[in-house]
Amino acid sequence: MGEIVIRRATTSDLTECAQLISNDESGVFEDWQSRFEQDLADPQRLFLVATVDDSVAGYGHTTFYTRTSEGDVDTSPTGYFLSGLLISPGHRRQGLGTLLTTARIDELRQVTKTIYYRAEPDNRATIDLHARLGFTVVETVQSDGRDFTLYCLEPTAV
């Protein structure tokens, strides 16, 4: 593998990020690119990319989620969440997911003691990655009509 750099995403990265996810999941390229533009402009989101030899090989997001009421469709707690980690197929199992995740944790530790993430119960790759970093199961939550397992990284001093 070439030179790896983990850094904040810029608008010039969004085309490559949208291409990664539109190749990996369902969805329209233009819709992903528009969503990423909104994410990048949102001050409560952190959008990092992993580049290998100056090409985007993966990305990871964070977001601040605010639960609006007890009757909310999403039952996740209010707080900072790791979200949206994706590594290109040709760069998986080479440590980029760990690098992006630890970089996001380091950034969030500057503003919060508690960090969450949600995963579908069958997503072994992300569950194993986060378990190695110290995340533990909190509870099952609902979002968009689906069940997710909520994980938390033990609080530390900010």
- Measured from the Cβ of residue 6, the count of other Cβ atoms closer than 10 Å reads 17
Question: Quick check: 56 and 13 in contact, CB under 8 A?
Answer: yes
- pLDDT for 72 equals 55
| Run of H or E including 5 | strand 4-8
The answer to whether residue 144 scores a pLDDT higher than 90 is: no
Residue of higher predicted confidence among 62 and 24: 62
Sorted by where each starts, the structural domains of the chain and their CATH numbers stand as: 4-153 (3.40.630.30)
pTM: 0.87
Structure tokens at 15: 């085309």
The 3-state DSSP class for residue 77 equals coil
- pLDDT for 73 equals 66
Helices 14-24 and 29-41: angle between axes, nearest 10 degrees = 130
With cut-offs at 50, 70 and 90, classify the pLDDT of residue 158.
Answer: very low
Lowest mean pLDDT among 26-40, 52-66, 101-115: 26-40
Q: What percent of the chain has pLDDT over 90?
A: 49
The answer to whether residue 157 scores a pLDDT higher than 70 is: no
Question: Quick check: 43 and 76 in contact, CB under 8 A?
Answer: no
Q: What is the mean pLDDT of residues 75-80?
A: 86
In sequence order, the 6+-apart residues with CB closer than 8 A to the CB of 118 are 76, 81, 83, 141, 143, 148, 149, 150, 151
For 123-148, the DSSP string reads -HHHHHHHHHTTEEEEEEEEETTEEE
